[in-house]
Structure formats: C-alpha cells, structure tokens
C-alpha cells in the first residue's frame, strides 16, 4: 500500500478503512530505515496517524504544514513522494535530511531543526497569505515541550493581532528528549487528568451543536464523553483561550477518524484554533515506548528487540568525560551547579542529576532563560555550568553578552557537539560558536586535546571567576587516563608538542582533539616531503591566544597553519591572523577549517571531510602548494 503513495493525492484516494493499515506500513518503513541508519525513532512513530490525517484533510504544497523541530517528519516525507532510495539513505551522504528542508521538497513549507520556530513561521506565512488575499490553510505542528520555548510564547502572544486563520496542533506526548518540566507541562497534564466538569461539557456541546458539522463531531469525538478529560482547568480560564485561540481537546492522536473530524472542523474556524492532540511517543515499537529518551534520537538498532548496534568504544564519549568530571568537581565544591535545557542525557548532565540532584537544574527548551538563570545564580556566589550543544547556544548569544559577559559573571559554558554533528546536518553542526563568542569582552574560550585536558580546563574555568567557554566535539574522546586531581592551566598559554627541526619554518597550530590528528598527519607528510619537521602546537586557548609564543615563532616561521573544527570565518585561524597582524608579523597563515557555507549532513565526518576538501590528502596538497608558492 505504501508503495502506491506517490503524493498526498494518492492518500486521499484510499478508502478510510485502509488508513490504519497504511499507518502500520509507515511504522514498519520508519523502523526498517532507522534501525539501519539511526535517527529520531520515537518522535516519528508517535505522529504517524496525525501525519496521515493532516495530509488527508489538507493539500500541500498549497497548504502549509510547519513542523516544530521537524524531527517528526518521516511519515510526512513518505506521504509526499519521498519513499525511494534517498529515504533508504536517510541522514546519510546523498540521502534525505532527517529534518524538513525547503531545498528537498515543495511540501516542506519551512526548514527547521531547532525547537520553537513553527508558530512564528506559520504566523508569518499566514500573514503573507492574508496580505496576498489567499485562501490556503496554514498549520503549525508543535510539541508540548516546544510550547514553552520563548519564541513560541512570543508567537502565541501575536497570533490574534496578526491573523484570523491559523491552526496550531499541539502534539502532547509529555516528552521532549527527557520528560518535560515546568508549569506548562504540569498544566497540560492537568488538562488530561482532571475529571470532566459537567457545566464545561454542556457548554462545549452547546457550542458544537450551533456549528456546521458539530453534531458529527459530538458523535465522533470521544473527547466529549464522560470518561474523557476536561478541556478547562479548575477555577480558571484555559491557557490558550487567554491567547485568544479557540481550544479543542484533548484528542486521541492515534484515532485517524477523530483526527480527521477535528481537522475538518479547524479548516472552517473563523478564528485561530488550537487542537490539543495526545500521542504516545514511540507507538508501535515497544522498546521506544519503554525507553523514550533512548529512542528519541538513536544509533542503528536491532528492530526485533531494540538493542542498539553500537561499535566497541575505545574511549568514553567527550560528553561522558565532561559529566564524570563535573560530578567529581561538584562533590568537592557545593557551589558548582549544572544547568541543562532539556538535554540531561545528551549532555551527560544526567550523571549529576543522579549523583547530586540538589546541584542540578533542567529548565526545559529555554536556552536564553538557562543563560540568564545561570547569571542570577552567579550573582549570589554560585558557580553555574551551562551544559549545552554548541548549535543550541547560538539561540542565547545575546544573553551570554548582555547578562554574563557585560557583568563579568563566573558562568561556565560547556559546549557539546562543537564541530560536526554529521547525520543531523546544518542545523546541528557546531561550527559557529567561536565566531559568535570570541568578540565578547571578559570571555575565555578553550578546547582540549583529550579528556584529561578537558578535566584541567573545567577546573581552570571554575577557578577563573569570570565567563569561560569549553568546547568539545561529538563522539569518542581520545582514551587517555584522567588524573585524580585536575590541574589548573595557565590561562592563554599554548603547549608545544614538538619543536621543528628547521628552526620553526612551518608552525602547525591545532585547537582541539579532532584536529590534532590532522595536524600530526600533516607534520609527518611535510617531514617526508620537505625533509624538515614542522613545529607542532596544541593551542588550548582561542581567547586569549598565546601572543608571546606566536611572536617568538613568528620571528623564524615562514608559514603558520591553523587547524580548527569550526568555520574558518571568524574562528581560531582568524584570531591567529589578527594577533600576528597586531604584533606586526608578516607571516602568511593557511587556515584549515570548515568553509563559509552551511555544511550538509553526511554519513560520518570522513565523508564530509572528503566532500569539503578537508581530508588528510587534500590538506597536505593545499599546504605543500602554499609552501611551493612561498619558495618561488
């Protein structure tokens, strides 16, 4: 049946009684592909019926369906003509993206990989429709975790003043990656657990009886039966009604007929409307239901039992090394606190949560709030550590500047995924943090070569008494032993790993454990080709740079080569160029880093390095060509 669906029009032709069979086929296809490729399993399995109902009722690409985060778009892709070889390669090189992408399909109305964008984008699209005199429908599908995001709340505040026709579908499954936290999560839980109030039920029935098709909704919509739950909270108006949205729900998100009925009604609404849909994350695959955090986004797995197909790790992940060190330091200093924005497992702050729960905070998907919250804690003598993905801190750069750096507060930012997040792609690559942050006064930025140096940098950061950033990549660390007591590093001082044999004619400066092996490979190649070994430096700090060492080496160097797991625009190499210019050293610099472009998704870092001419061979040829040019 799924093979016969080449567009939403094919879906509309299916008899209604076959739709549950289609849902089963979609789940089977999603499980089959993600078991081989990895991916967002739970979120996608939870919205299969909702995706069918949306495409049964609406007509994309004329109508716009905007998925918040869009890590629940696999069924949408399969229903819009993308069930082919490129879907088999989902999230891999030359395969489809794991998120919505306007480049990929006209059915993807808005690209997204971060939470909180859907309602703002949908409102913009709806306002554009109104200005153009169009009649198309605009639907924002928002998770219950994203509804608390600052951008989402700002958009909710503006809906009623900007349009009369907008549909918001609240996909409520009680989870983002970890279980949702905060007052709004409690409120939504209250909506689905408070017994029905008779007067509220009668009021809803009276409302439905007056509208076209309302009688059918009363018959079809079990939400209005006594055993279902109240749409109103006790003693107060509903949250969404106060935003001037008509609220209907909760609705069974796995009852296709009921979903279609409510969506058909929403099409006719003369004011913005929110449908509160209840779904089960991971539905149809018991391992994903039993462990929603593990199967939110996971590695390849055995589709029979859900066991992850993990390769034997030679070293702990960088995030694990961070989490273990933080617990160790926090045991010794009760002023040290850990803060996550709904990513306890992703950042390994779950280790702190388990060991020292009183020193742990989860603020939900609210990165800006996380940073200002940390600043407030720091004002009172605490030492907060905000553990966050590099790509997510982008959303709070203003807070880092205005609330932390301007006041010179001792907040430590530990940036996970600083570098590539290969299969997630452009929205998740952490390639821009240094460019965004190193211009800020009072901030220290560092990156370790291994997990032992990471521990030293964490101890140094908490000792600084001012803003500090430590960036480290996704994946396995180096595998070196970590000493019992971390050492304090001299701030802004690099480490010379190997002195060159030619009085430093070529100096290789590497920042971080990912690029150091690239620099080491190049060093061997240069020695073999030129007969002289270059100087190899572990920079450690991007800000402040080791100006003294740079100045000393610049007196003899003919070429500096910088390595960074970051865009070359505004990053570590740029900082070296600026410093050499400031000290009056006219030494050329060859910057090795990611290009000034949004890097695509790919199977692994090696594939992407090959694609962007950053393989060992490509780097060597580039540097050798630069050396030959200097000699000519």
Identified catalytic residue from 49, 324, 367, 590: 367
Cα 536 to Cα 519: distance, rounded to the nearest angstrom = 8
Nearest to 275 by CA among 297, 252, 255, 292: 252
Burial profile 313-335: b = 16 or more Cβ within 10 angstroms, e = fewer? eeebbbbbbbbbbbbbbbeeeee
DSSP at 605: H
Q: Say which of 395, 525, 543, 609 is annotated catalytic.
A: 395
Contact 367, 393 (CB under 8 A): yes
Task: Identify whether the C-beta of residue 466 lies closer than 8 Å to the C-beta of residue 429.
Answer: no
> For the chain, what is the total number of helices (H) and then of strands (E)?
27, 17
Q: Which of 122, 156, 120, 162 is CA-nearest to residue 238?
A: 156
For 562, the enclosing helix (H) or strand (E) is strand 559-567
Count how many residues are written for the chain.
632
Measured CA to CA, the distance from residue 476 to residue 451 in angstroms comes to: 10
Backbone angles phi, psi at 534, to 5 degrees: -80, 165
* Residue 306, helix vs strand vs coil: coil
* Whether residue 395 lies in the annotated active site: yes
Q: Which residues contact 280 (CB under 8 A, 6 or more apart)?
A: 46, 173, 253, 254, 289
Q: Which residues pair with 362 in a beta bridge?
A: 340
3-state DSSP percent of the chain in helix, strand and coil, to 5: 45, 15, 40
> Of the listed 281, 471, 591, 609, which one is catalytic?
281
Q: Is 205 a catalytic residue?
A: no
Residue 129 is among the residues annotated as catalytic for this protein:
no
* 3-class SS letters over 71-133: CCCHHHHHHCCCCCHHHHCCCCCCCCCCCCCCCCCCCCCCCCCCCCCHHHHHHHHHHHHHHHC
Q: How far does CA 472 lie from the centroid of its chain?
A: 16
> Which sequence positions are flagged as catalytic?
281, 367, 395
């Amino acid at each position: 049946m799924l093979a016969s669906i080449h567009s939403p029009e094919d879906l509309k032709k299916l008899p209604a009684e076959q739709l549950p069979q289609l849902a089963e086929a979609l789940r089977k296809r999603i499980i089959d592909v993600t078991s081989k490729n990895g991916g967002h399993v739970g979120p996608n399995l939870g919205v299969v019926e909702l995706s069918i109902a949306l495409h049964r009722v609406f007509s994309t690409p004329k109508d716009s369906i905007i998925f918040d985060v869009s890590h629940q778009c696999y069924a949408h892709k399969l229903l819009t003509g993308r069930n082919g070889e490129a879907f088999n390669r989902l999230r891999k090189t030359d395969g489809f993206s794991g998120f919505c992408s306007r480049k990929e399909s006209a059915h993807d109305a808005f690209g997204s990989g971060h939470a909180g964008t859907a309602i703002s984008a949908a409102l913009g699209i709806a306002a554009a429709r109104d200005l153009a005199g169009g009649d198309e429908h605009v639907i924002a599908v928002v998770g219950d975790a994203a509804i608390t995001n600052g951008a989402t709340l700002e958009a909710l505040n503006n809906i009623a003043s900007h349009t009369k026709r907008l549909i918001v579908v609240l996909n409520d499954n009680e989870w983002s990656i970890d279980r949702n936290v905060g007052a709004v999560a409690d409120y939504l839980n209250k909506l689905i657990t408070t017994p029905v109030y008779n007067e509220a039920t009668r009021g809803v029935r009276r409302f439905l009886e007056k509208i076209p098709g309302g009688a059918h909704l009363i018959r079809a919509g079990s939400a209005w039966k006594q055993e279902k739950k109240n749409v109103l909270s006790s003693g107060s108006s509903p949250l969404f009604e106060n935003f001037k949205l008509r609220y209907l729900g909760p609705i069974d998100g796995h009852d296709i007929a009921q979903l279609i009925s409510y969506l058909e009604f929403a099409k006719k609404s003369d004011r913005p409307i929110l449908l509160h849909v209840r779904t089960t994350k991971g539905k149809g695959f018991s391992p994903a239901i039993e462990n929603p955090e593990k199967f939110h986004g996971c590695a390849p797995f055995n589709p029979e039992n859900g066991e992850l197909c993990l390769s034997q790790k030679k070293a702990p992940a960088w995030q694990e090394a961070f989490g273990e060190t933080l617990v160790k330091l926090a045991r010794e200093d009760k002023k040290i606190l850990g803060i996550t924005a709904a990513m306890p497992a992703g950042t390994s702050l779950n280790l702190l949560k388990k060991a020292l729960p009183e020193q742990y905070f989860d603020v939900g998907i609210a990165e800006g709030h996380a940073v200002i919250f940390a600043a407030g804690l720091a004002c009172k003598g605490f030492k907060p550590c905000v553990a966050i993905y590099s790509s997510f801190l982008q959303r709070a750069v203003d807070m880092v500047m205005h609330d932390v750096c301007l006041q010179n507060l001792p907040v430590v930012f530990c940036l996970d995924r600083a570098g590539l997040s290969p299969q997630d792609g452009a929205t998740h690559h952490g390639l821009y943090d240094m460019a965004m942050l190193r211009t800020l006064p009072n901030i220290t930025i560092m990156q370790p070569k291994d997990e032992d140096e990471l521990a030293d940098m964490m101890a140094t950061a908490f000792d600084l008494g001012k803003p500090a950033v430590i960036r480290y990549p996704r994946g396995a660390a180096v595998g070196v032993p970590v000493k019992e007591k971390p050492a304090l590093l001299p701030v802004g001082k690099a480490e010379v790993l190997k002195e060159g044999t030619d009085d430093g004619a070529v100096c290789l400066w590497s920042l971080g454990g990912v690029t150091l092996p690239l620099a080491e490979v190049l060093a061997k190649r240069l020695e073999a080709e030129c007969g002289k070994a270059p100087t190899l430096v572990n920079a450690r700090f991007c800000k402040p740079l080791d100006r003294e060492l740079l100045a000393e080496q610049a007196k003899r160097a003919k070429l500096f080569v910088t390595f960074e797991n970051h865009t070359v625009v505004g990053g570590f190499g740029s900082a070296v160029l600026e410093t050499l210019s400031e000290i009056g050293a006219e030494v050329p610099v060859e910057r090795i880093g990611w290009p000034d472009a949004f890097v695509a998704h790919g199977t692994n870092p090696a594939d992407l390095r090959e694609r962007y001419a950053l393989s060992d061979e490509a780097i060597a040829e580039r540097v050798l060509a630069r050396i030959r040019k200097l000699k000519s």
